[in-house]
């Protein structure tokens, strides 16, 4: 393996020729940090040990996107990028099914090309609705092995984010009927006020809004899965 000094010289030469010198340098520095000559802390990290850091950086990025300056967004994007490179470098050292950041980039590049046939192939789509419909059609083909429309929704999503994903995915299977009349909203601000009021009311009554929504979402998921089983029996009849 080249020495750190040798790799540094190679990195400088590569940066001079690369169209993404900063990214190439960061990838090289990550490899150096996790090498035998590098940092013991970086070297001992695993996918599991870094999950908390990744979550924290993602939330900080979201905060910067919503209320930060351009400098804040740039910094937080960099922190998230560093976490992605960290995980890719760990994966590259795996003895079973290793892959590196170039494999990651190549895989998502292939996916985006496949899902945009109106740009990279002979497909046609002139409206956002047509693009979205084609995207979902292609995605369904790619995930044909899934037995439920709910498969692939991360368990660790917040209750509100999971409820939104479950509702979106389940529309082709079952129609959700609200229990009673619900108010109309003039915009997200008014909706936010109502949601906040519901959380405050729940707390005043000693109830956990997050737990309650998660439980209700699970009950709705069970209903969706039962409908899927019924449809499966009908289609197999």
Instruction: Answer yes or no: is 163 within a domain.
Output: yes
3-state secondary structure of 208: coil
Instruction: Answer yes or no: is 118 within a domain.
Output: no
Residue 8 belongs to what domain range?
4-96
Instruction: Answer yes or no: is 182 within a domain.
Output: yes
Smallest CA-to-CA distance from 79 within 59, 106, 94, 109 is with 59
Which residue, 96, 118, 137, sits at the end of a domain? 96
Domain co-membership, 89 together with 171: no
Show the tokens assigned to 112.
Answer: 């985006």
Instruction: Answer yes or no: is 113 within a domain.
Output: no
pLDDT at 2: 44
Which residue, 65, 80, 96, sits at the end of a domain? 96
Which CB contacts under 8 angstroms, 24+ apart, belong to 223-228? 223/174, 224/148, 224/149, 224/150, 224/166, 224/170, 224/173, 224/174, 225/148, 225/150, 227/173, 227/174, 228/147, 228/148, 228/149, 228/173
Please check whether residue 54 is in contact with residue 44, taking contact to mean a CB–CB distance below 8 angstroms. Answer: no
45: exposed, middle or buried (C-beta count within 10 Å: 0-12, 13-18, 19+)? middle
pLDDT at 3: 43
Domain co-membership, 21 together with 88: yes
pLDDT at 137: 87
Instruction: Answer yes or no: is 170 within a domain.
Output: yes
Question: Domain count of the chain?
Answer: 2
Smallest CA-to-CA distance from 211 within 154, 152, 158 is with 158
Which residue, 46, 74, 96, sits at the end of a domain? 96
Chain-centre distance for alpha carbon 112: 15
Chain-centre distance for alpha carbon 119: 24
Query: How does pLDDT run along the chain (237 residues), one tens digit per residue?
Result: 444 434 444 454 554 556 889 999 999 999 999 999 999 999 999 999 999 999 999 999 999 999 889 999 999 999 999 999 999 999 999 999 999 999 999 999 999 999 999 999 988 888 999 998 898 889 888 877 777 888 888 888 889 999 999 998 888 788 888 887 888 888 999 999 999 999 999 999 999 999 999 999 999 999 999 888 887 745 544
CATH assignment of the domain containing 54: 1.10.287.1080
Instruction: Answer yes or no: is 101 within a domain.
Output: no
Q: Which residues contact 15 (CB under 8 A, 6 or more apart)?
A: 21, 24, 25
pLDDT at 57: 96
Please check whether residue 163 is in contact with residue 217, taking contact to mean a CB–CB distance below 8 angstroms. Answer: yes
CA distance 220 to 106: 37
Q: What is the pTM of this model?
A: 0.69
Domain co-membership, 92 together with 171: no
Instruction: Answer yes or no: is 105 within a domain.
Output: no
Instruction: Answer yes or no: is 133 within a domain.
Output: no
């Amino acid at each position: 393996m080249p020495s750190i000094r040798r790799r540094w010289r190679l990195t400088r030469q590569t940066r001079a020729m690369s169209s993404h010198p900063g990214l190439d340098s960061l990838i090289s520095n990550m490899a150096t940090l996790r090498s035998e000559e590098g940092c013991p802390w970086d070297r001992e990290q695993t996918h599991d040990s870094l999950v908390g850091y990744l979550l924290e950086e993602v939330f900080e990025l979201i905060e910067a996107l919503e209320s930060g300056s351009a400098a804040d967004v740039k910094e937080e994007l960099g922190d998230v990028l560093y976490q992605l490179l960290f995980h890719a470098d760990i994966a590259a050292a795996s003895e079973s099914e290793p892959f590196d950041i170039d494999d990651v980039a190549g895989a998502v590049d292939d996916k985006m090309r496949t899902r945009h046939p109106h740009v990279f192939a002979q497909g046609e789509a002139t409206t956002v609705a047509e693009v979205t419909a084609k995207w979902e059609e292609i995605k369904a083909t790619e995930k044909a092995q899934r037995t439920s429309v709910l498969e692939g929704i991360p368990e660790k999503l917040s209750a509100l984010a999971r409820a939104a994903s479950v509702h979106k995915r389940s529309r082709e299977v079952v129609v959700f009927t609200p229990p009673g009349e619900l108010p109309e909203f003039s915009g997200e601000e008014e909706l936010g006020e109502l949601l906040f009021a519901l959380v405050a009311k729940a707390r005043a009554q000693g109830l956990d809004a997050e737990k309650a929504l998660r439980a209700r979402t699970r009950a709705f998921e069970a209903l969706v899965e039962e409908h899927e089983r019924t449809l499966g029996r009908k289609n197999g009849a």
